[in-house]
A = this chain, B = another copy of it.
Amino acid sequence: MPTMNFAEAIRDALRIEMERDPNVYLIGEDVGTFGNVFGVTKGLIDQFGEKRVRDTPITESAIIGAAVGSAACGLRPVAEIMYIDFIGVALDQLYNQAAKMRYMFGGKITIPMVLRSACGAGRGSAAQHSQSLEAWFMHVPGLRVVMPSTPADAKGLLITAIRDDNPVVFLEHKLLYNTKGEVPEGEYTIPFGQADIKREGKDVTVVATARMVHYALNAAEKLAADGIDVEIVDPRTLSPLDEDTILDSVKKTHKLVIVHEEVKFAGSGAEIAAMVAEKAFDYLDGPILRVAAPFCPVPFAPSLETEFIPSEEKIIEGVKTVVQG
């Protein structure tokens, strides 16, 4: 299997789908000649031309709206919001329009679109360029929320997203773009709502998303040295959420730690914890812990940003707390 990085894997998925279906097109700021600020769409305009790789003015409501409207009329747009932090100027088009149209219209309209966006902290980009916000999107009926952690997952999930007939929010952690992994050639899909067990273990379940999957894997290696065998569950899609895989793991390990990068309070981990506290309470040995960002905006200074992002150490500490009771 070829090795490629996360950004390349996404580009690969885009290329495959654009070759396959002439109705798939890209729309966003600087996705054309510039090839996206992280280089993700580089070269696609050369292959597919300006019609299918559409640079827009800085006008996010129009970007999403154009995607929604054209999706309603038969196209399959892949829209890009450069950083997910910018969604606030355009959220209406996503949650009141794209997500609700099908329901409001009694099932008589289909909005097959993907909204790709870079998320996450770690590049010194400060409070308005580093958020994740997946909890917000989870809370919106009608949206799918995807958050891949590896190049192979990113590719397969993006192909699924583009083929899916629902509006999908596809969150790409910007510090993953340069991470490498083996990626199957050609087209393949990964079903939504199917978590992946990134590491099997028997002592404690760690549910982690996006970049935190890798932190958790590193933590697990170190914990193994201490005799703690960690199972790592990567939901991959937060909506739909694969409750069964998480519950099965908890039923096996009886212990749960949830790790995500976004702010802990009312974050995505709250839903996972609440779901387990309802559906597998009797299997739990002790408290459910969340290791996540504290309740503050993302700071600029490296010393603070590093502290803001959940660390391997904090994951290890969290796991030990839960295991040692």
Contact = CB atoms under 8 A, between A and B. Distances in A.
Interface residues of A, number: 59
A281 B270 contact: no
A2 to B, nearest CB: 37
Interface in A133-149: 133, 135-136, 138-139, 141-142
Interface in A232-246: 239, 241
A259 to B, nearest CB: 13
Contacts of A300: 104
Contacts of A263: 139, 141
A299 B265 CA distance: 29
A281 B287 contact: yes
Interface in A109-132: 126-128
A139 B281 CA distance: 25
Given A135-B139, A265-B239, A277 B287 contact: yes
Contacts of A126: 104
A94 B296 CA distance: 15
A207 B273 CA distance: 17
Interface in A266-288: 266-279, 281-282, 284, 286-288
10 contacts: A96-B127, A133-B139, A138-B266, A141-B263, A141-B295, A239-B265, A272-B274, A273-B277, A276-B277, A278-B290
